[in-house]
Amino acid sequence: MPMLAALMLMQVVAPLPGPAAPASDRALYADCVRAANEGVPGAIDAATRWLNANGGVPARHCLGLSYMGANKPAEAARAFEDAARIAEAKGDASAADLYGQAGNALLLAEQYARAEVVLSNALVIAARQGGKPKGELLIDRARAREAQGNSTGARADLEQAVTLAPDDAAGWLLLGVLARREERLADARPALANALRLAPNDPDVQVEAGNMAAMDGDYAKARALWNAAVRAGPDTPAGKAADAALLRNPE
């Protein structure tokens, strides 16, 4: 079973279009992104019209955001990837992040093999630009790899991610979940403890830390964490999983 938690689109390092772009393009982009993020009806059509009027990378990026706002991640991924290819050809520094957004959307669309390829492209470009691999990209590629049954590759990505981004709770959470599922409890405990320290109010973290506590026989701690997860996100998958765990483990 994939260990995919709730996914958030990565933000492009610099707003598109750049400061050298005409004010009209910057205004169009700001309006388009606002409509996409708010799920305004017609946002996809507006972004498409801008794209057809030679909107370039900003229009493609906004089209992807509009598709995401409409819960169409596969279509969003195509728009993000088109934007990334053009940005890469131009030597634009945003290319790695755009590929990252495409990979993130592909994860949401459950196209895991393609997501791994696109996220690997993002990592290669980031390295080519002289920067360190981004923890977020490695975490997302780990999700793609684990969903395809490649737990070894996922673990390698997550171990690198928590080194590069030690304050990112998502990396520690996924590393801990993977270790717990593989019954490497000595590795799972500190990873989940770090996730809980960094995101104590996150229901995904709370339910998994509760599961770890239960495996260690500390049912009082487990129930406290599960109850917290139910309170924090009663309608989320984590909250529902915590509620089920409480029913299985009454006081």
pLDDT at residue number 72: 94
pLDDT of 6 reads: 40
The pLDDT of residue 132 is 59
Each of the 251 residues of the chain gets a pLDDT tens digit; together they read 344 444 444 444 445 666 566 677 788 888 888 888 787 888 899 899 989 988 889 999 999 999 998 999 999 999 999 999 999 999 888 899 999 999 999 999 999 999 999 999 999 998 887 665 688 899 999 999 999 999 999 999 999 999 999 999 999 999 999 999 999 999 999 999 999 999 999 999 999 999 999 999 999 999 999 999 999 999 999 999 999 999 999 87
User: Using one digit for the tens of pLDDT, what is the confidence trace for 241-251?
Assistant: 999 999 999 87
Which pLDDT does position 14 carry in this prediction?
A: 44
| pLDDT for res 192 | 98
Predicted pLDDT of residue 214: 96
**Single pTM value for the model:** 0.87
- pLDDT at position 8: 44
Q: What is the pLDDT at residue 4?
A: 40
Q: What are the distances in angstroms from CA 28 to CA 19, 24, 55?
A: 14, 6, 9
- C-alpha span between 36 and 25 (Å, rounded): 16
Handedness of CA 100, 119, 115, 181 (dihedral sign): negative
- How much is the pLDDT for 244? 96
Give the chain's radius of gyration (CA, Å): 20
d(CA 165, CA 163): 6
DSSP label of 80: H
